Amino acid sequence: MLTVVFDAYARRSFPQAIQGTDEPLPLFYDEVHPVITDEAKAGRVWKALEKKLSKDALSCLTVSYLSELPELDLHLFRYICKNIDSPVSLENNLADDDILFVTNTFRKVLYERLRMMQFIRFQKAADGTYFGIMEPQYNVLPLAIAHFKDRFADQPFVLYDKRRHYGYYYDQHEVTQVTFDESLPHFVTGKLDESLMADDEKLFQELWRTYFKAVCIRDRLNPRKQRKDMPVRYWKYLTEKNK
């Protein structure tokens, strides 16, 4: 993306659309300029941005990129250009469509990161590894991993993003990126088979379900609020919502 900005300024022509190489071209177009990521060019653009934007705005750029939304690219491009052209930082000008869009996307990605911290459920396998799987909307695993590494420093765990087919394995020392064969039954259902579970895993799952049921006050049932705060798309991998 940063190379795109560099090339646009070098060529003095600004794009109408930005696409991945695998996407089909639009029906009408004048010119296609292929961009190959170049560390040096990208570095220069980033340096220019560092001079102008606050730390928060810089992380807003990198984090919103993890949303992987196709429509983000052009907004992000214009966000960067507008700030380069302007004498002062425009990061707070939310009346601007591009800046509003990128900032809102940034918020959504951070919110999804929180959702991952909330709704990941670990199951303890027989070898002592804790196994957690999820399908987050955005690519938030890289943002969330530091939290889990700090919190569960003394337990080996696997965190897997099934939608993007990769995960992290933590061996009590460091984190490594991993991919698995997803035809294994616990990747399909998200549940460890009983033969793979640690001895007490089933009991604790049962205890948690019991707790979940017991803590609800029946006079105040409010399924709408439950769905609002814990959307149904996360239920598939929640221990308390599955038998």
Q: How far is the CB of 146 from another protein (least distance, A)?
A: 11
| Residue 217 contacts another protein per CB under 8 A | yes
Contact 132, 144 (CB under 8 A): no
| Residue 54 contacts another protein per CB under 8 A | no
| Residue 56 contacts another protein per CB under 8 A | no
For Cα atoms 9, 12, 14, give the angle at the middle one, nearest 5 degrees. Answer: 80
| Residue 214 contacts another protein per CB under 8 A | yes
Structure-token pair, residue 123: 């199951």
Q: How far is the CB of 208 from another protein (least distance, A)?
A: 5
In whole angstroms, give the CA distance from residue 139 to residue 22.
19
| Residue 229 contacts another protein per CB under 8 A | yes
Q: Which is nearer to another protein, 17 or 114 (CB)?
A: 114
Picking from 173, 172, 129, 134, the residue whose alpha carbon sits closest to that of residue 154 is: 172
| Residue 216 contacts another protein per CB under 8 A | yes
Q: How far is the CB of 81 from another protein (least distance, A)?
A: 16
| Residue 239 contacts another protein per CB under 8 A | yes
Task: Identify the H or E element spanning 157.
Answer: strand 157-161
Picking from 243, 235, 156, 165, the residue whose alpha carbon sits closest to that of residue 208 is: 243
* Span interacting with another protein, options 24-32, 55-63, 177-185, 226-234, rule CB under 8 A: 226-234
| Residue 206 contacts another protein per CB under 8 A | yes
| Residue 169 contacts another protein per CB under 8 A | no
Report in angstroms the alpha-carbon separations of 188 from 180, 184, 234: 12, 7, 15
Site string for another protein, 127-156 (x = CB under 8 A): ---x-x--------------x--xxxxxx-
Contacting residue, 59, 96, 180, 242, with another protein by CB under 8 A: 96
In whole angstroms, give the CA distance from residue 87 to residue 89.
7
For Cα atoms 122, 106, 52, give the angle at the middle one, nearest 5 degrees. Answer: 135
In whole angstroms, give the CA distance from residue 186 to residue 232.
20
Contacting residue, 1, 69, 100, 158, with another protein by CB under 8 A: 100
Structure-token pair, residue 88: 């002062």
* Binding residues vs another protein (CB under 8 A): 90, 92-97, 100, 114, 117-124, 130, 132, 147, 150-155, 199-200, 203-204, 206-208, 210-226, 228-230, 238-240
